[in-house]
Structures are given as structure tokens and as C-alpha cells.
Structure 1
Amino acid sequence: MKKIERKSVEKMTLFALTWPIFIEILLHMLMGNADTLMLSQYSDNSVAAVGVANQILSVIIVMFGFVATGTAILIAQHLGAKEYKDATEIAVVSVGANLLFGAILSLILFVFGETFLNLMGIPNELMDEAYIYLVIVGGFSFIQSIIMTIGSIIRSYGFTRDTMYITIGMNVLNVIGNYLFIFGPFGIPVLGVQGVAISTVVSKTLGLVILLWLLFKRVEHPLPFLQIFTLPVKHIKNLLRIGIPSAGEHLSYNLSQVVITFFITMIGTEALTTRVYTSNIMMFILLFSIAISQGTQIMIGHFIGARKFEQAYERCMRSLKLAILISGSMAVVTSLFTEQLFGIFTDNQSIIKMGSMLIFLTIILEPGRAFNLVIINALRAAGDVKFPVYMGMLSMWGVSVTISYTLGIYFGLGLIGVWISFIADEWLRGLIMLKRWKSRVWMNKTFLKEEKPA
């Protein structure tokens, strides 16, 4: 099969790398919003049930991310250092590791799904639908683990448009499946939440098949899959050295969100539904910062591998300014159309009123979140992975969770109190991460320094 020559990432612009990532993330969000929007025509309770199940699934996806994150950073650094054989070996090790890890977690979700939902304190009226969704999507979550890993590999080689096209296809298939199972045309049985879960799994499975084909087509050096058990142990060690701390920060965030979701269930089902709708709308603001941060991470990884530290420093600072400007502007624009946006999902005026207030607070929240997304990804790309974890855990639990309960539950501010806690957490962590980047401590953290001294 003919290989496509790898793109010189260091010579690419941030826009060239980022716009396909932006579209891909947007489409991933649309897939989730398609489920929410189409289910909202079926039942508000179904929306809340899927929202709770997805809180658990998001934790599992973060677990998969520890290998995918390490893969992206190590491959980018090795490609920057022109160590192509090591890059292909890391690709093979990471696919094998995440497949095994994904299979184990899928089995756990399938067996203990109801137990996890009970721990979330889910209302009885939501249990049946949340359980069926969690068991179906969670039971096949190993598919997502491989998708994430192969996607990271392909993007690290500079082919960010490939994963974007596949995401488009998965979205189309998912929406078609949702329509068939929710509205039941042509005599097809109406399966509701169960149908949405089936549609999600089928679309991801087909997407994985295409990704595997692209993996072999885009990587110009042979992938040593037949030698997977004889590959250097150093690759696994480096994956764990990057991945475990990185996943620790993401896992801590998602677990803190699970706890906060438990607090929101104490407020009531309507508050839970409001949180789901608001989060869906907020994701369209957030995706700009996410795309910029991921494109920046790829570029900085290549710069670090080539030992171009000053270019890496300047790239992060320019990306940060851009992310703050865009996310802040989008939050303002979104706040002007909140009633219309919430009206797409529901006609419940209480939900629309509260959600509109939360979106207004997002104008303050999102610029703070941009600090974390851009700088933390830059620090990871440079190999400085432990510091963000320590500070993140301290802030998420000491600030976000604590203030959520204190203001939201104890003082009765409800979702307003929860959003204030998010603002305090993001801004505190963001400013600390900025100080860390400016200190340039990360210049001594590259994982290639022992093999390729300066």
C-alpha cells in the first residue's frame, strides 16, 4: 500500500493543524447533542438519564486517554527528533495497551453498571434508561479506546483532516440511527434510549474500521505489529510516565464532576436536566480552546523533539492569547441568544431561565478555562506532566467541589453556586499554570533528553 509522506508539522501553521481538529471536536459534540436533542423530543427524563450515564462514561474515556495522551506526545517528540523507528514502535505499543485496557473497563461497566448508577444517587425514575444506555455503550467502550489511540497517532503525523472526515461519517450514521430508533419510521420499533445507545456503538465501530485502514496508509514506516511483545520496554515506561499523571489530572476532574453531579441530584431532576442542556451549549464555546490547545500540543511536541525551546515558548503564549480572545467573545455572543438556544431543547421556562443565568456566568468562566487547556497541554507536550496534576487535584477538590457544596447546597444557591465554584477553580489553576510556563522549568523535562542530549 502506498504511504503518504509525513507532513512537516514544524512548518505548518497553527490554523492548518487546528481547523480540522476544531471540526472534529465540533462533530463529536454534535454527536452528543444529537442524542440530547433527539431524545428531548422523546422525554426530558431520558435526557437526564443519558446525562448521568455519560458522567460515568466520561470517567472511563479519561482512563483511555492516559495512553492516547502519552502516545501523542511521545510520537510528536520522536518525529521532531527524526527518530521514526521509535515513533512506529510507540504507535504499536499504545494500540495494544489501550485495547487490553479498554476490554477490561468494558467488562467492568457491563457487570457493575447498576452499582455505579446507584452510587451516583440517580433518581428511581431515571434508573432503567440510564442503566440500559450505560451497559450498551459502556460494554463496547473498548472501541472508543482504540479510536482515541489511533486518532492520536494519525494527528501526531500531521494528518488532522483524516480523523475529521471519519468523525463526519460517524455523526451522519449516528443521527440516522437515532432517527430510526427514536421516531420509528417504516415500522421500525421505537427503542428510545436503547436505540440511541445501539446507534452510538454501530457508528463508532464503522469509524474504527476506517481508522485502522488509514493508520497503515498514513504512517510511512512499517508498523511492527507482529513484534509487539519484543518491542523496547522503554516505550511502555515513557507512555506510563506521561500518561498516568496526565490521566490523573483528567480523572480527578471527571471524578470531581461526578461528585458535583451527585450534589445536583440533591437539588432535583429539573436541575440535573438544566445542567445537561447548559453543558451541551457551553461545549460549543469551549471547543475553540480545545482545538487550539490540541493543535498547539502537536506543534510544541515537535519543537521539543527538535530542541527548539524558544519557538515552543512563543507558540504557547500566542495560542493562549488567541484562545482567551475567541472563547470570551463566543461566550458573550452565546449569552445574547440563550432563550432561543435552550428553546431548541425544551419549552420548560424554569430550565430556560436558570440555564440563561448559567450561560451568563460562562462569560467569566471560559477565559479562565482557556488558560488551563492551552498551557496544560503545552506543559504535557514538553514533558512537564506532574505539576499540573498536583495543582489540578488541589484546586478541583479544594475549590470546585468544596464551593459547589457550600454555595450550591448549604447556602441554597443551587446551580448558581455550582457555576461560581467552576469559575474559582478554572481561574486559580489557570494563573498558576501561566506562572509555571513562564518559569521555563519545562525545558528540562523532555523525555528524549537521555537519548538525545542537548
Structure 2
Amino acid sequence: MKKRFDIYKEHYKALISLGLPIVIGQIGVIVLGFADTLMIGHHSTAELGAASFVNNVFTLAIIFSTGFSYGLTPIVGAMYGTKLYTFAGQALRNSLVANTLVALLLTVCMGILYWNIENLGQPEELLPLIKPYYLVLLASLVFVMLFNGFKQFTDGITDTKTAMWILLNGNVMNIIGNYILIYGKFGFPELGLLGAGISTLFSRVAMVVVFVIIFLRSIRFRRYKVGFFRLGLSRTVFGRLNGLGWPVAFQMGMETASFSLSAIMIGWLGTIALASHQVMLAISQLTFMMYYGMGAAVAVRVSNFSGQHDTLNVRRSAFAGFHLMVALGVVLSSIVFLLRDYLGGWFTESPEVATTVTSLIFPFLVYQFGDGLQIAFANALRGISDVKLMMLIAFIAYFVISLPTGYFCGFIMDWGVQGVWMAFPFGLTSAGLMLFARFNYMTKNR
């Protein structure tokens, strides 16, 4: 056992060093999600239900766009591993252009969905709350993509602290803005849910502006700025970004769609069910974002070793990352389990919502292993640029297994929102097993 630990020890240390700033940045996102849900939930249960629907729809778009931006990490990571710094700067410029185009495409798609909200079966009393909040979040999509471009670049060159500090400060700004605009403090009007949306838009714009200023003025980015400004766009790099980005976007998008489409099904059960779903999503972000931070570190380490053609350390980095995620999962799941009877009451004054939240803790705990497994090996595959099969794996896991299971358990078996949530362990675990098998096949004995 000690010998095995010694083999992975340097990888654990490197992954923690890389991943911890990302995890801390994601904790800021988690705190923001908690604060949003707490403030909106205590303002009104109806607004909490409306926020659940809109946030789930936009989470799909944001995760999809984030997946596309992930195409930059293995490219920059391999260039950094082989000291091609000028070309890494060029890759950033290409990524920002590609991300902007994808953001505009998503804005059009989400705009079309906006005009069809009445046909999605949501409670009619929520529509006046849903529509303005939806439009404000729609305006922020392009800024999410621009931030992602800079973040994936800095992660790829192993500078994970810059994005962490920007995220933390941006989220503090967002929480303060929420407090002021939701409740109407310091002379501002009481805007409720719409105020939360305006605060989110403002913070996303500010984070992009700060990232641009740091990139342009910081000495540590000097060797990358040469390629960024002088080399211009490259058809080859642009093609690689699209070749890597779209499969990851669809893989992550289909995973998120299983949650977002489940939210639409849960909306058929009424406002209480939808509000409970939103609270559980805020809780589930706690573990997902932790795994996400470590997964991003896995992708960076694997891409660095892949650029050096060091397959042994590619494998060790991936497995070390999974070990760390299992440890995180055990600790975080234990905390959630111990607090299971109190969590719902933190977010809402509705006893019905609080009781329903408690009933959803069991399926949440069950899917933690599968979630860590699929994040670890999806990022490992991304690091070795083997991403095309991930789309098929995601389709099988989430559309063939998870969604039909959720509908069957929730509506055919009449288990309600608990039945819909029982599908998530099946989808995430099956995805994790298939991604692990693919990574093992691609790297074993090579």
C-alpha cells in the first residue's frame, strides 16, 4: 500500500497544487449559488420556483459553452509542456474568436426558446417572473464565454490562481448586488428575482474586463502576448479548437440536459416540486464544483504529459485525480448526510419544500461515486484529445438511460420528484464506467 502511495504521491501534490485554486474559485461559485437561492427563497417561494426553471435552462447553455471552451486546455497544455509559448498566445486569440461565435449562436437558440416558454408546461403564475429574469441572463452569455476563454488559457499554462481571484471577487460583487437589488437597499428599488439577474449580468461583465486588463498589463503574460497580437488567426488552430470543443460541449451539454429536462418534468408537478429541485441543485453544486476543480487539474496535467508522449504519467495523473475525487466525495457526502434534516430550512420558509428536499438526499448521495468517476475520466480523455466517442457515451448514459428512467420512476411509477431524481445515479455511473473503459483502452500498454 505504501509503495502504491509513493507512486502517486507526486501526482497528488501536483494535482492539489493545480486544482486547489480552481476548487477555491468554484467554492465562490457555490457560495454565490447558495446566496442566490437563500435570498430569492426568502423573498418568495414563487420566485424560487421561477429561478429554478430559468437557472436550469441556462445551466444547460453555460455548461455547453464551457465544454466548448475546454477545447483550448489540451492545446495550450501541450504547448506549455513543450515550451511553445508564442503559439499558446495565438491559440488564446483563436479561442476568444471561436467562443464569441458560439456565444452568439447560443444566444439565438436561447432567444428562440424564450418565445416558446408558454409551451413548456410551467406554472402560469410563474411566467411573469420567468420572462424578465430570462432576458437578463441571456444578455450575459457572451461574457461567460469570453471569461471561459481566458480561464482555460491560464489553467492550461498552470496559472490557476488568476482565475480563482477574479471569480472570488466577482462572486462577492454579485452577492452584494443581489442583496441591494433583490430587497431594495440603499435607495435602490426592490426588484426581487429580476434584481438577482441584473447583479449577475454586471458581475460577469466586470470579470471579463478585469481578466483583459490583467492579461494586457501583467509581466507574466508577456511571452504569450507576442503570439496573441502578432500571429493572428490560424485555420489549423481554429480547426483544432472546433474539433476538440464541439464533442466536449455536446458531452457536457447532454449531461446537463438530463438535469435541465428533468427540471421541465418536475415543473409539471407544481411550484413546490420545482422549488425543492432548485434547492437540491444548489446543494449538489457543492460536490460537482469540487470535482470540477480537480477534474480541470487532471486535464492540465494529462495534457502536459501527453505533449511529452509520457503515457505512464498520463495514466498516473488520471488515476490520482480519481483517488482525490473519491476522498472529496466521502467527506462532502458525509457532511450533507449529517445536515440532511436542516438543509431545506436554510433555503426557504416553506415546510413542504424543506420536507421534499430531505427526501431527495438519498439519490444525491448514491450518485456521488458515478459523478466523480465520469468527471475524472472525461477530463483525462480531454487531456489526451480523445473526445469524439464521448458524445456517444453521453447520449447513451443521459438520453437512453437517465431521462427515460426519470420519467418512468417519476410518472409511470408515480414517485413524483423523488422518482425523477432516482434516475441521476443510473446516468452518471453508466457514463463514468464507459469513460473509464475508453481511457483505459486508449492508454494501457502504450
TM-score normalised by length of structure 1: 0.90
Q: 1:68 to 1:12 in 2, by over 3 A?
A: farther
- Residue 115 of structure 2 aligns to a residue whose secondary structure is helix
1:44 equivalent to 2:15? Answer no
In the aligned structure 1, how far is the partner of 2:44 from the partner of 2:12? 50
Q: Contact 2:184–2:190 (CA<8 Å) still a contact in 1?
A: yes
**Distance of 1:145 and 1:337 partners within structure 2:** 35
Most deviating of 213-222 and 276-285: 213-222
Secondary structure of residue in 2 paired with 1:35? helix
Secondary structure of 1:316's aligned partner:
helix
Cα shift at 1:329? 3.0
Shift of residue 172, structure 1, vs aligned partner: 1.5
Report the CA distance shift for 1:35/1:136 in structure 2 as closer, same or farther (over 3 A): same
Counterpart of 1:81 in structure 2 is 82
1:64 corresponding residue in structure 2? 65
Q: What is the correspondence of 1:266-415 to structure 2 with a 5 Å cutoff? A: 266-415=268-417
Determine the structure 1 residue equivalent to 2:115.
115
Asked whether the 8 Å contact 2:122–2:268 carries over to 1, the reply is no
**How far 1:227 sits from its partner (Å)?**
5.3
On the 8 A contact 1:53/1:117 being kept in 2, the answer is: no
2:3 aligned residue: none
Which 4+ residue blocks in structure 1 deviate beyond 4 angstroms? 9-12, 223-228, 441-444
Give the CA deviation at 1:10: 9.1
**Aligned equivalents of 2:116, 2:15: Cα separation in 1:** 41
Query: Structure 2 vs 1, CA of residues 308 and 113 (structure 1 numbering), >3 Å: closer, same or farther?
Result: same
Letter in 2 for 1:127: L
Report the count of equivalent residues. 434
Counterpart of 1:191 in 2: which secondary structure?
Answer: coil
CA gap of 1:186–1:262, structure 2 versus 1, over 3 A, is: closer
Q: How is 1:67-216 mapped onto 2 (pairs within 5 angstroms)?
A: 67-109=68-110, 111-112=111-112, 114-216=114-216
Give the Cα–Cα distance (whole angstroms) in 2 for the partners of residues 186 and 107 of structure 1. Answer: 36
Superposed CA deviations along residues 289-335 of structure 1, whole A, max 9, x for unmatched, are 22211111111111111111101101111211221132133112211
Q: Give the drift of 1:363.
A: 2.1
CA contact (8 A) 2:68 2:99 kept: yes
Does structure 2 conserve the Cα–Cα contact (< 8 Å) formed by 1:19 and 1:291?
Answer: yes
SS at match of 1:347: coil
More divergent stretch after superposition (23-32 vs 234-243): 23-32
Q: Give the match for residue 4 of structure 1.
A: none
Shift of residue 173, structure 1, vs aligned partner: 1.1
- What do the CA deviations read for 1:41-94 (whole angstroms, capped 9, x no partner)? 211111111121112212221342244111112110121122223211111100
The one-letter code of the counterpart of 1:51 is S
Instruction: Supply the AA of the counterpart residue of 2:89.
Output: T
Q: Is the 8 A contact 1:245 1:386 kept in 2?
A: yes
Shift of 1:126: 0.9
Equivalent AA in structure 2 for residue 31 of structure 1: L
For the 8 Å contact 2:326–2:369, the answer to whether it is kept is yes
Q: Which moved more, 1:148-157 or 1:328-337?
A: 328-337
Distance of aligned partners of 1:66 and 1:360 in 2 relative to their CA distance in 1, 3 Å threshold: closer
d(CA) in 2 for partners of 1:161, 1:443: 35
User: Where does residue 420 of structure 1 map in the other structure?
Assistant: 422
What SS does the corresponding residue of 1:339 show, helix, strand or coil? coil
Which sits farther off after the overlay, 369-378 or 433-442?
A: 433-442
CA RMSD across the alignment: 2.1
1:236 aligns with 2:238: yes
C-alpha contact 2:34 2:282 (8 A) present in aligned 1: yes
The aligned residue for residue 435 of structure 2 is 433
Q: Distance in 2 between matches of 1:292 and 1:300?
A: 12
Could you say what secondary structure the match of 2:367 adopts? helix
Q: Contact 1:61/1:144 (CA < 8 Å) preserved in 2?
A: yes
CA distance in 1, matches of 2:157, 2:397: 34
Tell me which amino acid in the other structure corresponds to 2:122: I
Kept in 2, the 8 Å contact 1:170–1:204? The answer is: yes
CA distance in 2, matches of 1:256, 1:44: 24
Query: 2-side partners of 1:41 and 1:90: how far apart?
Result: 45
SS of 1:267's partner is: coil
Are the equivalent residues in 2 in contact too, given 1:65–1:243 (CA < 8 A)?
no
Q: Which moved more, 1:260-269 or 1:143-152?
A: 260-269
Q: Distance in 2 between matches of 1:73 and 1:280?
A: 30
Does the CA contact (< 8 Å) of 1:38 and 1:182 recur in 2? Answer: yes
Shift of 1:423: 0.7
Task: For residue 189 of structure 2, give the secondary structure of its aligned residue in structure 1.
Answer: coil
The equivalent of 1:222 in structure 2 is 225
Shift of 1:155: 1.5
SS at match of 2:309: coil
Distance apart, 1:159 and its partner CA: 1.4
2:7 aligns to what? none
User: TM-score by structure 2 length?
Assistant: 0.92
The 8 Å contact of residues 365 and 422 in structure 1, kept in 2 or not, is answered as yes
User: Relative contact order (alpha carbons < 8 A, sep ≥ 6): 1 or 2 greater?
Assistant: 2
Residue of structure 1 equivalent to 2:24: 23
| Paired AA for residue 68 in structure 1 | S
Contact 1:335–1:356 (8 Å) recurs in 2: no
Q: 1: CA distance between counterparts of 2:270 and 2:335?
A: 29
The residue type paired with residue 193 of structure 2 is: V
Contact 1:331–1:359 (CA under 8 A) maintained in structure 2: no
Question: Structure 1: how far apart are the matches of 2:422 and 2:67?
Answer: 29
User: Aligned letter for 1:304?
Assistant: S
Taking every aligned residue pair, what percent have the same amino acid on both sides?
A: 22
* Deviation by residue 1:253-281 (Cα, 9 ceiling, x = unmatched): 23333322221112221111111101111
2:427 alignment partner, SS class = helix
Unaligned ranges ≥5, structure 2: 1-9
